Structure formats: C-alpha cells, structure tokens
Chains A and B, each alone.
Chain A
Amino acid sequence: MERVSDTQLYQRIQAQDREALEQLYDRYEKILFSFLVKMTADPNLAEEAMQEVFIKIWRGVGKYDESKGKFTSWLFTMSRNAAIDLIRKRKQGQVSIEESGELISHEPLMDEKIEWKEKKKSIETAVRSLSKEQQQMIQLFYFKGYTHEKIAESCGLPLGTVKSRIRLALVKLKKTLGHLQEGRAAHEESGL
C-alpha cells in the first residue's frame, strides 16, 4: 500500500483527524525525540518540547505551507524553536562554547533504522568537509540554540559576520551533502 505523504497527513490533521496525528507521531517520534534530547540534554525537557510541538500541530499554530519547503524542514525548525523557548524559560545555562561538543559522533549506530543510519552517515561525511570553525558555528547555532548575538559576543565578532558565517557553513554543508547524494545515486544506477 502506498505510504501516505506527510503533507496528506498534515491536511487530515488540520481537519482534526486524530488518527492522522497519531500516524504522524509514530512516524517522527524517534527522530524528533532524539533531536530534542540532543538540543536540551534533558529527556524530560525533550518530552515537554514534543508535547508543545504536537499541540501546535493539532491546533494549526504556525501553519505548514508546502510552497516554502519540505514538511520535515518545517517540523524540525518548529521543534527546534520550541526547544529553545523551553530552555530559555527554564533558564538552564547553555553550555559554554568550549564545552559545546562535536557534531560528529564517534560511536557507531547499531540497530537503528537503515534510513536514519544512511542519512547520518552522509551528513557526517559532509560535516567533515567543513572547517572546525564552521562545524562549531552549526553546533552552537543549530543544536545548542545559541543566538547569533551570543555567538558574536563569545567569539568577539561583529553580528553581520557571524550571521554570514553561519549561513555560509549551512550552505556549504547542504551543497556537499547534495554532491554526496548525487554520487551515491549515480553509483547505484550504474549497478556497482
């Protein structure tokens, strides 16, 4: 049976279809929760953020518009912002720049879904193509929820410079990721 698309599920949710919301939850529970744990470093706060996200989806707050990008981009951006709000409300100190950790894990993924494993492998390969400074920008901005003002203050850089560096790091990461995916697709097509 053909898989219902995220957009179709979302449309049904907008018509208050509970089953559709449950399907969407099942589809993204694991990755969303893992992402929120990475951001908050607190499973309880991550669960609270999950709840915020699904309440917003159910109520149609901040509507998804297909013309502005794919559903997962909207979902994860909204989830990231929900986590940042909760972190700030709780006034939990964000980790210092020195302690911000690394984007790439050194632990192998064991039994996780193949799709996740493949995606993670590709993104990690693309991340390795970035300079250490670019990796740090993405880690601080995207995963640790630092504002660009905070990064500028901590790094002693002008605001505009920080914004440009974050953006350029993200652009480079996406382009490299795109090349890797194209290369893999070509490889698979050639049957090698």
Chain B
Amino acid sequence: MKNQDCDRLIDYLEDRLSTEEKKEFETHLQTCTDCQEVIELMGDLPYLSEPAEPSEGMKSRVLGAVFEEEHRPAATERVVTKRKKRNWMGLSLAAVLFVSLLGNIYALTWLTEGTEEAVALEEIGLEPNGSFTGNAAVSIVKGTNEELTLTVEATELEPLQGDAIYQVWLIADGEPMPAGYLSPDSTGTGVALFTLGQELDAWDTVAITREPQYGNKLPEGDIVLSAPL
C-alpha cells in the first residue's frame, strides 16, 4: 500500500515513528522517489529564511556550552577515583549507585536538579573477556530532564602500568564512541559517568578497553569487559 507508506512521511519528519515503524518507512524510502525528494527538500527549505545576524559572541557561547557539557561531571572525560571497595553485586545496583554517587562531590553537583525523580532504566553486568578478572556493571538512569546517563562502576580492575587507562566505549554497528574513563584506585575500583542525551536506541554495545594512554578517540587496546545494550 504505497500511499499509506507515503503518508508516514509526515510522521517520519516529525520524528514520531517507533523504532520499528521507522525501519519500515526507511525500507519504503529506498524505493520511493517522491519521499526521497521531500527528504532532500528539507535541506533546501531553510534557504527561504530571511538572513538573521547572530548576536556577538554566539559562536563562543554555543561551542563553549558544547564543550562545557563534555567536561561536566556526567561527561566523557570525568574520572572518579578513590572510592571504597564494597560488595555491591548482591544489591540493587541502581540504589547503590545513587547512594554512592550522592556521596561524591562531582556527581552531587550534576544531580542537583533531578535526584529525587531520577529513574534507573537498565542495569547490566559486563562480561569479562578471556582471563580478565575485573567486574563492572552499567546503569542507565533517566533524570527529570529526560536526559539519560550511563554510569559504569567497576571493581577488582587489574592495576595499570605507566599512562595506561581503562576507557569506556559506546558502540553502534561496530563504530565506537568514547564514553568516559575508569582510573581505578588502589583497590581496583572506579566509576565513570557519561551523558547519553535522550536516546539509547542508537547504541548496541558498551565495552571497556585497556588503552595505552588517556585521550584515545578510537580504541587501541583490547576489550576487557563488554555487554550488549
């Protein structure tokens, strides 16, 4: 029923389709020239706008906010260390994470707005690769602002040599994106927080690698722990 498929175009543009419906429509899109043309038009229509002059300093404010987000406690490069080792595996991970995070000054700052109503959506244990002996679990938490946060808590991580660091990655169709670091304390414990925005569906795997240095944009080291999302 071609027309019915085409009528979904409007919902597609409004980003209202479920993941399944979106996939179905995108299959239709591959063969429907009319729908393809409308999608292409979306890249032309804004040129109908009257030129508006950005206010002074807008670029630095916008990009500053982007990179500031990255450096917030919930963002990629925040490393939380020196936490006490405890046996959390038998408890509710979400509860433990929130209690422990509330005691952490970095996380407290970040959670100020939404602690009371934050909801843990998923709690997943990561599987060690080969002979690796450490443990880790991730929790996906939705704050009151609908923003999702990935929290990775690891214990019994093997000590690191030199500049090496454990790095967290989110992977979509084999393509990794950096999602924080774990710098274990003397007991092998570390926590990383990463803001996901509002979409979880884009990612299929979370993994931790042992990287030779801080700051890698793509993994160089082997995966030591991983789990499907």
- Is B47 touching A123 in the complex (CB atoms < 8 A)? yes
Contact B52 A37 (CB under 8 A): yes
Is A38 touching B49 in the complex (CB atoms < 8 A)?
yes
Contact with A along B93-106 (1 / 0, CB 8 A): 00000000000000
Interface stretch, picked from A16-24, A91-99, A182-190, is: A16-24
CB < 8 Å: which of A30, A59, A123, A143 contacts B197? Answer: A59
Q: Output the least CB separation between A118 and chain B (Å).
A: 9
A175 interface residue (CB < 8 Å to B)? yes
B10 and A55 contacting across the interface, CB-CB below 8 Å = no
Partner of A21 from B15, B63, B69 at Cβ < 8 Å: B63
Q: How far is the CA of A127 from the CA of B49 in the complex (A)?
A: 13
A81 with B46: CB separation less than 8 A: no
B37-45, B110-118, B182-190 - the one binding chain A? B37-45
How many A residues are at the interface, by size bracket? 35 or more
Query: Do B62 and A34 touch across chains, with their CB atoms under 8 A apart?
Result: no
Residues in A neighbouring B49, C-beta threshold 8 A = 31, 34-35, 37-38
Q: Give the complex CA separation of A14 and B202 in angstroms.
A: 13
Q: Is B91 among interface residues, defined by CB-CB distance under 8 A?
A: no
* Minimum Cβ distance to chain A for residue B68 (Å): 10
Specify which of A25, A34, A170 is in contact with B51 (CB 8 Å cutoff). A34
B residues 41-75 in Cβ contact with A at 8 Å: 41-52, 54-55, 58-59, 61-63, 65-67, 69-70
Q: A116: which of B29, B47, B52, B69 is its contact (CB, 8 Å)?
A: B47
Q: Do A47 and B58 have beta carbons less than 8 Å apart?
A: yes
Q: Are B37 and A163 in contact (CB under 8 A)?
A: no
The tally of residues in B whose CB lies under 8 Å from a CB in A reads 54
Are B40 and A70 touching (Cβ within 8 A)?
Answer: yes
Chain B residues with CB below 8 A from A47, complex form = 54-55, 58, 61-62
Pairwise interchain contact B50-A107, C-beta atoms closer than 8 A: yes
Distance (Å) between the CB of A61 and the closest chain B CB? Answer: 4
* A17 partner, pick from B44, B47, B70, B217, beta carbons under 8 A: B217
- Please indicate the chain A residues that have their CB under 8 angstroms from the CB of B178 in the complex: 16
Q: A31-B47, A46-B52, A109-B51 are in contact. Are A174 and B65 (CB under 8 A)?
A: no
**Contact (Cβ within 8 A) A173 B41:** yes
CA distance A59 to B178 in the complex (A): 10
B42 lies within 8 A of A60 (CB): no
Q: Tell me the bound Cα distance from A55 to B62 in angstroms.
A: 9
Answer yes or no: B124 CB below 8 A from chain A CBs.
no
Neighbouring A residues of B109 by C-beta, 8 Å = none
CB distance from A98 to the nearest CB of B (A): 20
Q: What residue in chain B is nearest A58 (Cβ atoms)?
A: B66
Measured in the bound complex, the distance between the Cα atoms of B218 and A56 in whole Å is 20
User: Contact string, B188-229, partner A, CB cutoff 8 A, digits 1/0?
Assistant: 000000011111001000000000000001100000000000
List the 10 closest A-B pairs by CB distance, nearest first: A72-B43, A35-B46, A73-B43, A61-B197, A37-B52, A119-B47, A174-B37, A38-B49, A34-B49, A15-B217
